[in-house]
Structure formats: C-alpha cells, structure tokens
Chains A and B, each alone.
Chain A
Amino acid sequence: MAEVEFDQASRIYTAGAKPAVNRLDLEIADGEFVVLVGPSGSGKSTALRMLAGLEEIDGGQIRIGGRNMVGVPSRDRDIAMVFQNYALYPNKTVGENMAFPLKMRGVPKEERATKVKAAAEILGLSEYLDRKPRALSGGQRQRVAMGRAIVREPQVFLMDEPLSNLDAKMRVSTRTEIAAMQRRLGVTTVYVTHDQVEAMTMGDRVALLKDGELQQFATPAELYDKPANAFVAGFIGSPAMNLFTLPVSEEGVRMGSSELALPRSLRSRITEAGLSTVQLGIRPEQWTVGSNGDGAGVKAQVDVVEELGSDAFLYAHLDDGEQTPVVVRTGGRSGARRGDQIALTPTSEDLHLFDPSTGERV
C-alpha cells in the first residue's frame, strides 16, 4: 500500500499539440479511493495509463510510495489494473487468468492455487475456474478481471471504466461491491469514469478533468456544494445546475423583467470582484415553486414534467424574451402540467456565483 502523487505530470502525444494531460497535480493518500472524472477526451485514461506505465511521462513526475516512476516499466510498479474491456487472456481459463500475475512474479504453484481459490470464493467465481473467458457473461468477466487484480495484493489498483460494459442494474450493484471491497482491502485506488454518479458515490475524493487540465480535486460533497468554476458546477449534479448570465442590479441581479434579490453576503462578493454581470448557478432543488398569481419570483412556463415517484423535475423556460431553459425539482405528485405558468424563487442562501469571463467561482 502506498500513496500516489502526480507532480506536474504531463503527457504530450504529438509534439506541438495540446498536451492530453497538462501539469496534473494530485496527492492521493494511502488507502484512498480517488475517482478521475470528466467528459470524453478529457485525459482521464491517459492520466491513469501514465500511472500504470503504459504511457510515457513527458513532463513532471509520478510517485508511488515516494518512488519516482519516470522510466520504471509497468511490471516493476506493483500495480494492478482493470481494463474497460477486461482484457482477459482468451486462451487461459478463469483460474489461469487470475493466477497469471502471481505466476509472472514467481509465486509457487500451491500458493497460487490457494490465493486464486480464496479470491474466487469472495467473487463467487468458484464454479467457473475451469472455463474460458468466452464462456462467461459480461458481469462474470468483469469479476474475473477484478479477481486478477486483487489476488496480487498490489500497492495500487487502477480501474478504467470497469463498469461501462454492464447493464444499468449490474452497474449499480457492482459499484457498491467495488467500493466495499476497496474499503475492506484498504488498497489505494484510482478509478476512471465519465459517469458523475459513479464518481460521487464511490470516491473518497474526486478529481475532475477537462481538456487535460485539473478543474477541482475535492470530496464529492465539496464538489457539489462549492464547485470551483462554472464547468464543475455544470458537470456535477443531475439534472445539471441552472446557469444564467445576468446583469447585476441594486438588490441582486436582473432576471428577465423581474429582479432577483440576493443575500447581502453574495452581493458583497460581487462588488468585491467588481463585476457588472455575473453567472448565477441555481441547482434544481434550490427553487420554490409558486403559482403565477402571487407576484413574487421569476415567471416561467412548464414544458415537460418528469415524474420519478419520489420527486419530479419540471423542465420550463423563463418568460424573459429569450426562453432561457430552467430545471426545477419539486416533490412528487406536484400536480404541475405542461403549459402551466409558475413563479420561481430561489430558496437557498448559498447560490453559486461565477465570473462570466473566467468561469471562476466568486
């Protein structure tokens, strides 16, 4: 077990092009579960593969347990990796697949057999040990890949979207299993996903990447409550946060024809930053819905109602002449219908404010 450090680590695939991973700084504690998340092409896999020794480190350093990994081949890094398509050895049986990392490290045969048997027991693979991978279902293959990683007892687990080939239900149950197993084994884990729900539920901390740049590295709660910039705010949370670019007024901001009063603390932060327009972020659950008649709040018209049982999402547009879309969460059985006129007021004090030019949090 070991801590992992990315220290200004960069990867440049083609000279002159934009780096796929640009000066990445991450400090991962021993035993921590860190999720790398971001949109497609943001460099998550590249960062993970740099750590695995499958991509060069073109700048900076990556350290595992304090040891610099530049120039160290994969086999000497004491890591185990689970690949998106599992990358099982097609000509080996399940048992041989799981024993392979031990065999390559010269572990004697009897010890290999005991360890594989123990791991197979945990993963419920005992009856499949003599099968070839092609005779397994997707979920079973995924577990074999996990088994191959855990028999080794490595310093670090690396996983690149290990759940993306499973169906929705399997994904949810396997997600919990992986998280629980990681907590039990206490092995430092770096997990790549593009699914923010996975990131939020599994990670001790989440690193959000975009275009090879680290946007924020924090706990899931902090990422949700205090997004460092407008990109993070929009990426985390489902449905996404409502972001409006609005002119600043006396009492707060102007939203269409009405004025949205902001609490004093927020107003002072705007004045400090000297902004005349501001990007305001309001999560779907930070609205209260009133009927149109009572005057207060922003007027909007409901386009779509999504009833989820426990709660409902209203997809509406504002009556501000530009039909700005807005998403609102209400309790289930809200009774709202398509075409309804509603008035929206932000409930919470801690709305999110971003500088419209840089996207940084104000």
Chain B
Amino acid sequence: MTVTAERPAELTPRRPDRGPGSRADGWVRRAPLLPALVFTIIVTQLPFLFTIYYSLQSWNLVRPGSRQFVGIDNYILVFTDSQFRQVALNTVLLTAGSVLFSLILGLLFALLLDRAFLGRGFIRTLLITPFLITPVAAALLWKTVLFDPTYGLINFVLSPFGVGATDWISTFPLTSVMVALVWQWTPFMMLLILAGLQSQPHDVLEAARVDGATSWGVFREVTIPHLRRFIELGIVLGAIYLINTFDAIYMMTQGGPGTASANLPFYIYQRAFLGFDIGQSAAMGVVVVVATIIVATFALRLIFRSFSGGEET
C-alpha cells in the first residue's frame, strides 16, 4: 500500500519551488555579482549616455561658453556633411577590401600549407609572423621601409621596370593602407581556414575521389561547402576588427590627403580632438554605433546560425 502511494510522487517531474521567499533567495545568490554589473554599466553604458547627451548640444571647445542645447541639429549636419559620407564610403571600402583580399590570400596560403612539403613548419611560422607584429610597428614598416618614395624597397625593386620615384602613400592613400592591413590580416584568415581544412573528414574526401571528382571538383563540391562557416567566421571577425582601424591610418596617412584615406573612427577623432567640435563628433559617434549594432546583429546571427547547425554527422 505504501509503495503504490509513493510511486506517483516519484514520477511527476520536479518543479522548482515557487513558494514565498524564493525570490529573495535568488537575490542572495546573485548579490555577489552586483558590483561587477554596476562596474560594467558605469564603464560601458554611461559614456554612451553622455555621448548621446553631448550629441544634442552645440559645443565647441574652441569657443568656451557657446555650449547650448540644439536638439537634433548635429544629426542633420552629420547626414548633410558630404565629407562624412565620403568617409563612410572609405570605411566600407577599406573594411570590405581588406577582408576580401586577406581572405583570398589566406585561402591560398592555407591550401598550400595543407599539403606536406619540406620545410612546412618553417614556412608556416614565417607566414604567421605579420599577425604577431604590433599594428603600429607594421604600419610604420610599410610607410618607411616599403612605400617611401626615396628609399622604399618597393620603388627599389620596381626601378628596373621604369617605375620612377612614385610616392605610393600620397598617390594611392586608401590602397596603401589597405595593403598594410591585408598583409597583417592574411595570417589570421589563413590560420582560420587551415583549421577548417584540417578538420575535414578524410573519408568524405576519399569518397568524392572515388565518386569521380577531379581535384577541382573535390575542392568546389566538398571543401568549399565545408569551409563556408570558417570563411563566414573570418569575414565577421575580420570586419569587426578592421572597421575600427585607427593605428594604420594614423601612422601612414593621417587620413590624408584631405579625407581621402580617413575612415569613420579616424574622422571622428579628427573632429573631436583636432576640430574640438564635441557636439558634432558625438553625433557621428552615435550614428556609427547604431549602424554598427545593426550590422553586427546580422553578422553575429550569421555566425551562430552556421555554427549551431552542427554539420558533422
């Protein structure tokens, strides 16, 4: 009798207690985390709120006392500023171009390193090195050692072919910055794709060969679909980093000539710290943050979708 009485109680799934006091219990457990939360809010959210507040003011440091509330005037100015649009376009070009080219080069080098050859370990180390160099040092290296019109290596190497003393950086400012960024980011893409290549199941590749695929067929039909999520991850991570590029531009071109090679972070910096226009730059900052949040939301959703799919059997 006792047995039958007990059984139903065992079978019902246990629910968490919802009695009085459990709420307080939860807070007791969470309380130790509060300082960290408060600190995070102070460090990340308050500055943003201040920025929004500044963006609604006309406030130029050069004219003290001129500070006043102007509503959304600053935003209107941002959207009518042709320089801002030019710089936004630069940002897109620089980010997309650098990601794309470093991805293509990274894929080629990864394919090279995926096969066995003498001295592979050494070559791999050499190929990774650019990623380990401080970005500022790398930019300086490109500016002085390679691109310099008088003693740069590039002109030296090209001089036999009749290329005169070209000043690469002032003739092709955006491209020059992009070259330096691609050089730094290729190893990252290469490592990511190499990890993808080496995680390919062997038997699937063999099956494709037995099924009659040529090397190119195996690459297109099996390897590329497998690499897709690694490539997507590379694009998202690369874009997140490269959209914020500041050091390379600061070191190589100072955004010039004019704003020809400035991107948004650099332009905002110029406006705030060289133009002292706090209101304007705050408004630009807010616009950029909002745009970035929108783009990043889509990008992150892409990553999580392709990695939670669990392609392996």
What residues make up the interface of A, taking CB atoms closer than 8 Å to B?
52-54, 73-75, 79-81, 83-92, 100-101, 104-105, 133-134, 141, 148, 152, 158
Cβ–Cβ < 8 Å partners of B214 in chain A: 75, 104
B217: interface (CB < 8 Å): yes
State the CA gap A104–B222 with chains docked (Å): 12
Shortest beta-carbon distance from A356 to chain B in Å? 43
| Given A87-B201, A134-B311, A105 contacting B212 (CB threshold 8 A) | yes
B210 — which chain A residues lie within 8 A by C-beta? 52-54, 74-75, 79-81, 158
User: 8 tightest CB-CB pairs across the interface, nearest first?
Assistant: A91-B225, A87-B203, A104-B212, A87-B207, A101-B211, A75-B212, A74-B209, A81-B210
What are 11 A-B pairs with beta-carbon distances under 8 A? A52-B206, A54-B209, A74-B209, A83-B203, A89-B207, A91-B225, A91-B311, A100-B211, A104-B214, A134-B310, A158-B210
Determine the distance from Cα of A152 to Cα of B283 in the docked complex, in whole angstroms.
64
Roughly how many angstroms separate A100 CA and B220 CA in the complex, as a whole number?
Answer: 12
In the complex, A86 Cα to B211 Cα: how many Å? Answer: 13
B125: interface (CB < 8 Å): no
Q: State the majority secondary structure of interface residues on B.
A: helix
Q: A90-B313, A133-B313 are in contact. Are A75 and B201 (CB under 8 A)?
A: no
Q: A83-B206, A101-B211 are in contact. Are A89 and B313 (CB under 8 A)?
A: no
Q: For the complex, give the distance between the alpha carbons of A133 and B201 in Å.
A: 15
Instruction: List the B side residues contacting A54 at CB < 8 Å.
Output: 206, 209-210
Give the complex CA separation of A141 and B203 in angstroms.
Answer: 15
**Contact of B213 with A by CB under 8 A:** yes
Rounded to whole angstroms, the CA-CA distance of A152 and B211 in the bound complex is 9
Residues on the B chain within 8 Å of A80, using CB: 210-211
Q: Indicate with 1 or 0, residue by residue over B213-242, a CB within 8 angstroms of chain A CB atoms.
A: 110010001100110100000000000000
Complex Cα gap A80–B211 (Å): 7
Residues of B within 8 A of A104 (CB): 208, 211-214, 217, 221
Q: Looking at the assembled complex, report how far the CB atom of A154 sits from the nearest CB atom of chain B, in whole angstroms.
A: 9
Other 16 A-B pairs with CB < 8 A, given A88-B207, A90-B226: A53-B209, A75-B210, A75-B211, A75-B212, A79-B210, A87-B203, A88-B313, A89-B225, A90-B311, A91-B226, A100-B208, A101-B211, A104-B208, A104-B213, A134-B311, A148-B207
Contacts of B212 in A (CB 8 A): 75, 101, 104-105
Contact A75 B310 (CB under 8 A): no
Interface residues of B in 38-60 (CB under 8 A from A): none
Contacts of B313 in A (CB 8 A): 85-86, 88, 90, 133-134, 141
Q: What CA separation (Å) do A13 and B213 show in the bound complex? A: 25
Q: Which residues of A contact B312 (CB under 8 A)?
A: 90, 134
Distance, CA A79 to CA B206, complexed state (A): 12
Q: Does B204 contact A (CB under 8 A)?
A: yes
Q: Does A100 contact B311, Cβ atoms closer than 8 Å?
A: no
Q: How far is the CA of A90 from the CA of B201 in the complex (A)?
A: 10
Residues of B within 8 A of A75 (CB): 209-214
| Docked pose: A46 CA to B155 CA in angstroms | 56
Q: Which residues of B contact A101 (CB under 8 A)?
A: 211-212
Most chain B CB inside 10 Å of its own CB: which residue of A80, A83, A158? A83
B207's closest neighbor in chain A, by CB? A87
A164 to nearest B CB, angstroms?
A: 13
Bound-state CA distance A134–B201 (Å) is 15
Smallest CB–CB gap between B77 and chain A, Å? 49
Interface residue from A53, A100, A133, A141 paired with B221 (Cβ < 8 Å): A100
Chain B residues positioned under 8 Å from A134 (CB to CB): 310-313
Q: Which residue of A lies closest to B206 (CB)?
A: A54
- In the complex, the chain A residue whose C-beta lies closest to that of B225 is A91
A83 close to B207 (CB less than 8 A): yes
Asked if B209 and A89 make an inter-chain contact with CB atoms under 8 angstroms apart, the answer reads no
Task: Give complex CA distance A148, B203 in Å.
Answer: 14
B209 cross-chain contacts in A, Cβ below 8 A: 53-54, 73-75
Contact flag A81-B217 (CB < 8 Å), given A90-B312, A91-B226, A91-B311? no
C-alpha gap A85/B221 in the complex (Å): 19
Q: A87 contacts B204, CB within 8 Å?
A: yes
How far, in angstroms, from A47 to B88 measured CA to CA in the complex? 62
B312 to chain A: closest residue by CB: A90
Question: Which residues of B have CB within 8 Å of A91?
Answer: 225-226, 228, 311
Q: List the A side residues contacting B211 at CB < 8 Å.
A: 75, 80, 100-101, 104, 148, 152
CA distance A80 to B221 in the complex (A): 18
Q: What are the interface flags for B20-44 relative to A under an 8 Å C-beta threshold, 1 for contact and 0 otherwise?
A: 0000000000000000000000000
Complex formed: what's the CA distance from A73 to B221 in Å? 18
Report Cα–Cα, A347/B209, bound state, in Å. 54
Chain B positions within 8 Å of A52 at CB level:
206, 210
Give chain A nearest CB distance to B62 CB in angstroms: 59
How many whole Å from A103's CB to the nearest CB in chain B? Answer: 8
Query: Across the interface, do A87 and B310 meet the contact criterion of CB distance under 8 Å?
Result: no
- The residues of A that contact B207 with a CB separation of less than 8 Å are 81, 83, 87-89, 148
